[in-house]
A and B are shown apart, each in its own frame.
Chain A
Amino acid sequence: MNDAQLHALREAATDGVSCDGLRAERTEDGYTFATPEATHEGLDEAGFDALAEANPWLVSNWHVWADASGARAAYCRWIERADDLGVRERYEALVEGLSREWGQLLVTAELGEDGGRVYELRHVDDANAEPDALALHDDPLDAREIATLDADGRYRPLKTAPTLQRGWRFAALDGRDLVRTVEFFYPATVANWQREREGDLDVTHFRETAERQTGIYDVVDELDPEGVENLARACCVDSQCLKRREWDEDDEAELDAPRGDGEFPCREPCSLVIAAARQWAILESEDSRTYEFELTPSEKTQLEEIVGAVAEGRTDEIREADVGDGANRYRARYLRAKLTDEDGSFENVSGGQ
């Protein structure tokens, strides 16, 4: 606490102050100063000041949150567990730092000067890295660049894909810059999380989103219920996206696909999912046929393993000599050489073209 904070508290007491266990009032009978432990009434200014001096954490904590409101304040208070921990406990913990995970972000709140807050942000997998080992940033805008490519240099069209690269940290951010930085990594997640907490999240389900589409996306609403189920299973699970899916097929038809365990909700199918849905709506409009061709049991298993490995993005990890894995490149090439013609089409398949 400093003199400015004390002065501000005295002023604010005229209108009444109540924050995290601190209560301060000024009436005709003098000041009231109440802590979670005791209430003191009828104080003169010197008595009031003495109690404030004796409870510096309560005063500085009030000062931190006095003018804060909206999603930003709710988010910063959530980080330091303000609704669960008392001020004393929190201040003790803030000396070491209080952390929360937000997708792949690790946000840490610490005490700054005069009880103010400073925030640090890094990749969760860098939780134990030495600060010097991480590239230091202080401009929230830098998050846009970090979020653009994954560790292998591939473009990340979905910001909440679990492929955020490591090796950086943002230090000494104030609350405003912290939320800006988080929102450059994961746009709109703080706003939607806050809406959800207030019971105010406006979910738009798949059908409604699909019906709104125009132009080349007009066909999206032709995807049948099973297709929508498969769409969510393909795209909206934790291994692909860290948002927690809150949309379903429509108000009545809940999807079985897991929603994900993410901290922040997804309130509507995203543009990537709509683009994928368009592709599937077109593909699903084909009629199925019966094909007949011969495979050994191991070859059937191998095809299943290949589909699995591609779907999980695991092909890069399969070692060259690991010919025991059905999705091994040499295994796949052998199968291709055996079953397909020069164009890569299955030979000797009857029923299809």
Chain B
Amino acid sequence: MPALVIAAHGSHLNPGSHDPAFAHADTIRAAGAFEEVREAFWKEEPSFREVLRTLDSEQIYVVPLFVSEGYFTEQVIPRELRLEEWDVADWNSEGTDADHVTLTAEDVGKTVHYCGPAGTHESMTDVIVQRAESVTGDPDVGEGFGLAVVGHGTKRNENSAKATEYHAERVRETGRFEEVHALFMDEEPEVDDVTEFFESDDVVVVPLFVADGYHTQEDIPEDMGLTDDYREGYDIPTEVDGTRIWYAGAVGTEALMADVLLERAADAGADVGNALDLVRQRTGGTAAAGD
């Protein structure tokens, strides 16, 4: 039976950074679709460099737990896994279309089905909506509510913005929320001015980030005016300029995220049996550990 590797960033400084990868791996393990499920990290161990040799399986599905295509999915992960035949052109992607390619990892001679990042999969849109449900405690949230999807945004990686806009557009198309906007930390339109972009009295803000950390716990709440000092905390919702802001924290901590990882592997040909159903049952509406 094949193995699944969840490739995440991790951190040298913040132990909470690995929690989503651990939690989603545990969910997928419990669903039993893979003989082995292993987390691997850029900043923690097992490193991308060494994870493949710890697995018995000859067929390995690797899904990056990253929100967008770019430096990590195109350069770092393929290089560190020693996928020497890798060529980014094989993605044939405009920034949000990466699906999968099958390559050989040179050091172990195993077959690697290298998948696009979790963050650009279409089912990620469902996770964003689920996050809005979780934070409001309302499974029908939408009427009278605006939704902001917040991306990092940066000059270095334009795909980060593309992923944010892609999901904002998909949520908008469902017509479920009164208004949907993509906002950014580092570029226009900025999350600082969130209330200016919405007419609704209630706005759910969902950052398209994998783990809670500096940006989602300190920067964004302060920038939006939820609090002057993140250490003092804030209420959910908090009223800012007459708008109630329901701040959701990193979308990657939502339990349903495990479903996206599985879907990526299934799209790449993994036989996941009824695991998708099991995972959706288990994660629908409940928050992940470490949330």
Give the chain B neighbours of A157 by CB distance below 8 A.
Answer: 11-13, 43-44
Neighbour of B45 across the interface among A141, A159, A191, A214, CB < 8 A = A159
Query: B107 touches which one: A155, A183, A202, A275 (CB < 8 A)?
Result: A202
Does A155 contact B71, Cβ atoms closer than 8 Å?
Answer: no
Stretch at the interface among A52-60, A162-170, A264-272: A264-272
Binary per-residue interface labels of chain B (9-42) against chain A in the complex, 1 for a CB within 8 Å, 0 otherwise: 0011111001000100010000000000000001
In the complex, the answer to whether B75 meets A214 with C-beta atoms within 8 Å is yes
With beta carbons under 8 angstroms apart, the residue of B15, B51, B53 that contacts A148 is: B15
**Which residues in window 240-259 of A have CB below 8 A to B?**
none
For A186, the closest partner residue in chain B by CB is B45
Question: Given A157-B44, A188-B46, A212-B79, is A271 in contact with B12 using a C-beta cutoff of 8 Å?
Answer: yes
Residues in B with CB closer than 8 Å to A191 are: 50, 53-54
Contact B49 A268 (CB under 8 A): yes
B46 touches A187 (CB 8 A): yes
Which A residue's beta carbon lies closest to that of B55?
A: A191
**Do B43 and A214 touch (CB < 8 A)?**
no
> Do residues B53 and A192 form an inter-chain contact, with CB atoms below 8 A?
yes
Q: Which residues of B are found within 8 Å of A40, using beta-carbon distances?
A: none
List residues of A (125-178) whose CB comes within 8 Å of B's CBs.
Answer: 141, 144, 148-149, 155, 157-159
Q: Which residue of B lies closest to A275 (CB)?
A: B12
CA distance A41 to B90 in the complex (A): 63
Interface band, chain A: 20 to 34
Chain A neighbourhood of B26, CB < 8 A: 141
- How far is B14's CA from A275's CA once the two chains are assembled, in angstroms? 15
Complex interface: chain A residues within 8 A of B43 (CB):
157, 271, 275
Residues in A neighbouring B79, C-beta threshold 8 A: 212, 214
Q: Give every chain B residue within 8 A of A195 (Cβ-Cβ).
A: 53
> Do A270 and B45 touch (CB < 8 A)?
yes
A192 touches B107 (CB 8 A): no
Docked pose: A192 CA to B45 CA in angstroms: 14
The total of chain B residues at the interface (CB under 8 A) is 25
B56 contacts partner chain A, Cβ-Cβ < 8 Å: yes
Query: Would you give the shortest CB distance from B31 to chain A, in whole angstroms?
Result: 15
Contact status of A215 and B71, CB under 8 A, knowing A183-B54, A270-B47, A271-B43: yes
In the complex, B88 has a CB within 8 A of chain A: no
Please count the residue pairs between chain A and chain B whose beta carbons lie under 8 angstroms apart in the complex.
61
B12 contacts A272, CB within 8 Å?
yes
Q: Measured between C-beta atoms, what is the minimum distance from B56 to chain A in Å?
A: 7
A70 at the binding interface (Cβ < 8 Å) = yes
Q: How distant is the Cα of A212 from the Cα of B49 in the complex, in angstroms?
A: 12
Q: Which of B15, B18, B76 contacts A214 (CB 8 A)?
A: B76
A271 touches B42 (CB 8 A): yes
Q: Is the CB of B44 within 8 A of A192?
A: no
Q: Which residue of chain A is the closest to B45 with respect to CB atoms? A: A187
Q: Which residues of A contact B49 (CB under 8 A)?
A: 268
Give CA–CA (A339, B16) in the complex, Å.
41
Known A157-B44, A212-B79, A272-B12; judge A188-B107 contact (CB<8 A). Answer: no
Known A-B contacts A188-B51, A192-B53, A202-B107; A149 and B46 likewise in contact (beta carbons under 8 Å): no
* Nearest chain A CB to B60 CB, angstrom units: 14
Cβ–Cβ contact B14 & A155, under 8 A: yes
List of A residues within 8 angstroms of B14 by Cβ? 155
Question: Chain A, 176-202, contact with B by CB distance < 8 Å: what is the 0/1 string?
Answer: 000000010011101110010000001
> A244: shortest Cβ distance to chain B, in Å?
15
Q: Per-position contact with B for A303-347: 1 when CB-CB < 8 Å, else 0?
A: 000000000000000000000000000000000000000000000
Closest A residue by C-beta to B44: A157
A188 to B40, CA, bound (A): 11
Bound state CA distance, A232 and B22, in angstroms? 31
For the complex, give the distance between the alpha carbons of A104 and B81 in Å: 29
Picked from A141, A158, A188, the residue with its CB within 8 Å of the CB of B50 is A188
For the complex formed, measure the closest distance between the CB of B37 and the CB atoms of chain A, giving whole angstroms: 10
Q: Name 18 A/B residue pairs within 8 A (Cβ), A-sorted.
A: A70-B56, A141-B26, A155-B13, A157-B43, A158-B45, A183-B54, A187-B45, A187-B51, A188-B54, A190-B54, A192-B50, A215-B75, A215-B76, A268-B49, A270-B45, A270-B47, A271-B43, A275-B43
Partner-A contacts on B (CB < 8 A): 11-15, 18, 22, 26, 42-47, 49-51, 53-54, 56, 71, 75-76, 79, 107
A binding-site residues for B, Cβ under 8 Å:
70, 141, 144, 148-149, 155, 157-159, 183, 186-188, 190-192, 195, 202, 212, 214-215, 267-268, 270-272, 275
10 A-B pairs closest in CB distance: A187-B46, A188-B50, A157-B12, A187-B45, A155-B15, A191-B53, A159-B45, A188-B46, A188-B54, A148-B15
Extra contacts, 16 of them, besides A158-B45, A191-B53, A214-B75 (Cβ < 8 A), are A70-B56, A155-B13, A155-B15, A157-B11, A157-B43, A159-B44, A186-B45, A187-B50, A188-B45, A188-B46, A191-B54, A192-B50, A214-B79, A215-B71, A271-B44, A275-B43
